[in-house]
Chains A and B, each alone.
Chain A
Amino acid sequence: MTQKLKFSLQRRQVVHQILENRGDAAVVTGIGNAVHDVASANDDPKNMYLAGVMGGACMVAFGIALAQPDRRIIVITGDGELLAGIGSLATIGVEQPENLFIIVIDNQAYGATGNQHTHTGRGVDLVGIAKASNFKNTALITNEKELQAQIPNIYQKPGPYFAVIKVVSKSSPRINAPKDGTYVSRRFRSAVAGEDA
């Protein structure tokens, strides 16, 4: 039976708020809505948009975090994408990278394929799974006040960090984020690792 809880946060506004003062943090987005949410804030060269490979966002970010220990790496992804690679949390939980921050925009739906229900609306607790995977800094955010309180944890404290933000299930408009993997990845690498990498 699906939970019919009412959430109020709008995904696009949430993501824009989080990224407002991102400084030189790099961002990795999971496929689907997250790409458009992040790109619409600013098509920053330090954004790595994944247009495929569901389940890979956290691990891509983890690889970057290991390569760039002095830079904050933020993952913005969806609940369905995360679930497809949920074992990643255990891999990351063992390694405890201090510069990795995972933010899950949880609309309890697979946005890119017709808004079918995901497991999070049916009893699956992603924060619980993160805690079980050895994450010490976790949060469940359901309203504006909680969001404001958590933003300093993303930018001022060490990670690894895992937060789930419950949002209304409506998808926001798609925008034209670059889809060419070679372009996005080279641009990112130059911006993050330097031109001589």
Chain B
Amino acid sequence: MGIQPKIVLDRRTVVKEILKDRGDLLLVTGLGAPTWDAAAVGDHINNFYLWGAMGGAALTGLGLALAQPNRRILVITGDGEMLMGVGGLATISVKKPPNLAICILDNQRYGETGMQETHTQHGVNLSKMASGAGIKNTSIVYTKNELKKAIPIFYEETGPVFVNIKVTDKPAPMTLPPRDGPLLKNRFRENLLGHI
């Protein structure tokens, strides 16, 4: 294992950049910091925030992508959350949804429980996990330039795509979106389908 490049990217800036020209992107966020990051950009009716169900974010994205083949679906989640449902990457790769993008904000920490180290701090490589699971379009991002190149991948390249973005463990303010499950579900569906 080589020396890891320096981790410099700030999570809030990253998410802001990714969502800048989101158009009609449908976004699913994993519990904890990724949800706060999305809320910090601004609450959006096309966001479905998970406040629990750790391990379920990417698979929620899969179901949505299969139901809405003409829409682009992005899942933004954390390394700990992804690890808890990492078998889901095999499930996703076999289905090959061309409209699904997965973005990991990898700070190598469990952010909500005291910043304990996750497995990615100790040699586990999520983008290689995704490759091993059969996802062809995988990459890892450390720098601003690499981030710039990654953003079109989320929106334009044939999925499933998987980008692991290393971010610092600097805590960011907890901006809270709505957490009422039925509210989130109903507004998302009504906007998407025209009914709840």
Contacts and interface: CB of A to CB of B under 8 A. Distances in A.
Interface of A: 83-87, 90-91, 93-94, 119, 122-134
Given A134-B122, A134-B124, A129 B132 contact: yes
Contact of B83 (A87, A119, A122): A87
Main secondary structure of the interface of A (DSSP, over half): helix
Given A94-B122, A94-B124, A134-B123, A129 B133 contact: yes
B16 interface: no
A84 B87 CA distance: 7
Contacts of B83: 87, 90
Nearest to A130: B132
Of listed B85, B128, B129, residue having the most chain A CB within 10 A: B129
A124 B96 CA distance: 12
B91 interface: yes
B131 A128 contact: yes
A124 B93 contact: yes
Nearest to B124: A90
A15 to B, nearest CB: 24
A125 B86 contact: no
Contacts of B94: 119, 122-124
A86 B87 contact: yes
Nearest to B133: A124
9 contacts: A94-B122, A122-B94, A123-B93, A123-B134, A124-B134, A128-B128, A129-B128, A131-B128, A132-B128
A93 B86 CA distance: 14
Given A83-B90, A119-B94, A125 B132 contact: yes
Contacts of A90: 83, 86, 119, 124, 129
Contact of B119 (A94, A127, A129, A131): A94
Contacts of A85: 87
Interface string B115-132: 000010011111111011
A90 B87 CA distance: 11
Interface string B53-70: 000000000000000000
Nearest to A95: B122
B130 to A, nearest CB: 8
A85 B85 CA distance: 9
B111 to A, nearest CB: 18
Contacts of A122: 93-94, 134
